[in-house]
Amino acid sequence: MQTITRFSVLFLILLSPLAMAGPITGEAAGEAAFETAHDFTLPSIDGADIALADYRGKAVLVVNTASYCGFTKQYDGLQALWDGYRDKGLVVLGVPSNDFGRQEPGAKDQIKEFCEVNFAIDFPMSDKLTVKGADAHPFYKWLKAETGATPKWNFHKFLIAPDGRAVRDFSSLTKPQSKKIIRAVEAVLPQN
């Protein structure tokens, strides 16, 4: 009985510094601690990286896109929004995804060409990413944690404030140039 007691005491002594340190989560468990959108980097459709920290001080409308969707015509509205508000501090960021109906089957070069030829897209775009489920890109997992929303279909939109906070989301049915999106964008644009 005495051996068990000595072992128990030794075990508690060795364990006590770990107990005081708290649970092992976040960075200690090998995961990065993401606080704002500015903590993320996405692969670009051009092959480089898109560091969202480069958009600090700007509002960002993030949209998961697809080339063969009934909502694909929203590219026109996204480009118009980008054209109308980029000088005021808005970035439109397209994120191609094949998660819904396999409507984005192409490689990044095909997606880029489709967007440029059919819609004259010149706003930044990432490479194709997974935006839902267990395999979602960490940025989309963060968006879900921040807003409680996950894309239900292509052309779901998330608005990021200039300080990197996720402000709100808009369903695929909400057109890029709707009054709802315009009001939300204008409310978070940096004041000049």
Task: Give the residue numbers marked as catalytic.
Answer: 69
CA dihedral (96, 98, 100, 101) in degrees, to 10, reads 130
- Kindly report the number of other CB atoms within 10 A of residue 107's CB atom: 11
Q: What are phi and psi of 189, to 5 degrees?
A: -60, 145
- HSE (side-chain half, CA atoms, 13 Å) at 152: 8
The amino acid that residue 107 corresponds to is A
Using the structure block, give the residue that is written with the tokens 């300080």. Answer: 163
Q: Is 79 helix (H, G, I), strand (E, B) or coil?
A: helix
What lies within 8 Å, CB to CB, of 39 at 6+ separation is 32, 33, 52, 53, 142, 164
The amino acid that residue 35 corresponds to is E
